[in-house]
Amino acid sequence: MEAELKFIGRIETPYNTIDECPRNVQHDGPECRLILSKEYLDGMLGLSEGQEILILYWFEKVNRDNLRQNSRRTGEYAGVFALRTPHRPNPIGASVTKIEKVEDGAIVVRGLDCLNNTLLIDIKPAMVAESINSDLLS
Amino acid sequence: MEAELKFIGRIETPYNTIDECPRNVQHDGPECRLILSKEYLDGMLGLSEGQEILILYWFEKVNRDNLRQNSRRTGEYAGVFALRTPHRPNPIGASVTKIEKVEDGAIVVRGLDCLNNTLLIDIKPAMVAESINSDLLS
């Protein structure tokens, strides 16, 4: 069973190599820009400054078949579903961050953990209380 | 630009019709079971009881082309990216919940907001502080 994603835009970040990328979102990090493709601009109505959003995006050039890996952070050997590694069956990144500014066709946020030109999948209002889990980040 | 998802399993919930489904995750809701397909079981290593996880899943039978909708909750007319509606370009649901139990090939959680047999896309350790946004849920 498979299904097709539609990319709704891309993300501008200051990071052009994996080594420059932070491992997770940094709320005081540099400005990043969600640039929506023209055909999806209508979907932005109602997004506003200060709102917290969940952003989903797609990691390219990853290994989708490696189900057990060593955590980049702790070295621990674990299943991919117990890690935040981008190398996973569905390489979807998920970050919650606050909208700094809504521009014409773009949303400015801070401190995303992905490369410049990362493909954007979805934006939703954030809602669930997530807690920092310090044990098993990749 | 498009990309293919691989379904890693399915979700057992008590809900067989949309009307029965809660609109969002309920932490004191009924037990739900993430059933992983055999070929993805190796990815579970390291997941444990009490851990908070982010679950991504795929809503079927939705309209992926309707970029502006009325919120089911407030009636407000808004862009799809300012709503949590399943009717969106990429109908991916995202919920954070705590692991109640790890079984052989399954993970028990509570109160998901999706139909029985919903397709499972990903499980990650939860990490980002999300806040309840009461304004623009669908």
Segment A17-63, tens digit of pLDDT: 988 988 788 888 999 999 999 999 999 999 999 999 999 999 999 99
Contact B84 A130 (CB under 8 A): no
Does residue A135 register a pLDDT over 80? no
- Among B4, B43, B127, whose Cβ lies nearest the Cβ of A84? B127
In a domain, B2, yes or no: no
Tokens of B48: 């444990």
pLDDT of residue B1: 57
- Which DSSP string do the residues of B67-122 spell out, in sequence order? -EEE-TTT--EEEGGGS--S-SSS-EEEEEEE--EEETTEEEEE---S-TTEEEEE
Min CA distance, A32 vs chain B (Å)? 17
Residue B101 touches partner A, C-beta closer than 8 Å: no
Does residue B2 register a pLDDT over 70? no
In a domain, B136, yes or no: no
Go through B84-118 and write b for each residue having 16 or more CB atoms within 10 A of its CB, e for each that does not.
bbbbbbbbbbbbbbebeebeeeebebbbbbbbbeb
Tokens of A15: 């990071």
3-class secondary structure, B61: coil
Under a CB-based contact definition with an 8 Å cutoff, are residues A93 and A86 in contact?
yes
Please give the residue of chain B at the shortest CA–CA distance from A129.
B130
In a domain, B49, yes or no: yes
In a domain, B3, yes or no: no
Contact A95 B128 (CB under 8 A): yes
pTM: 0.91
Contact B127 A119 (CB under 8 A): no
β-pair partners for B108: B33, B101
Go through A61-88 and write b for each residue having 16 or more CB atoms within 10 A of its CB, e for each that does not.
eeeeeebebebebeeeebbbbbbbbbbb
Under a CB-based contact definition with an 8 Å cutoff, are residues B89 and A3 in contact?
no
Structural domain for B86, as ranges: 10-125
Please give the residue of chain B at the shortest CA–CA distance from A132.
B127
In a domain, A92, yes or no: yes
Q: What is the DSSP letter of B9?
A: E
Under a CB-based contact definition with an 8 Å cutoff, are residues B70 and B137 in contact?
no
pLDDT tens digits, B23-56:
778 888 999 999 999 999 999 999 999 999 999 9
CATH number where B85 lies: 2.40.30.70
Residue type at A49? E
φ, ψ of residue A55 to 5 degrees: the values are -110, 130
Question: What's the domain count of chain A?
Answer: 1
Residue B130 touches partner A, C-beta closer than 8 Å: yes
Contact B46 A84 (CB under 8 A): no
Under a CB-based contact definition with an 8 Å cutoff, are residues B106 and A101 in contact?
no
- ipTM score assigned to the predicted complex: 0.90
User: H or E element: which one contains A130?
Assistant: none
**d(C-alpha B120, C-alpha B60), whole Å:** 11
How far, in Å, are A81, A133, B102 from residue B48 at the CA level? Answer: 11, 12, 6
Contact A133 B6 (CB under 8 A): no
Q: Residue A40: its chain B contacts at CB < 8 A?
A: 67, 81, 89
* A98-122 average pLDDT score: 96
In a domain, B106, yes or no: yes
Contact B45 A132 (CB under 8 A): no
In a domain, A16, yes or no: yes
In a domain, B65, yes or no: yes
pLDDT of residue B5: 96
Please give the residue of chain B at the shortest CA–CA distance from A36.
B81
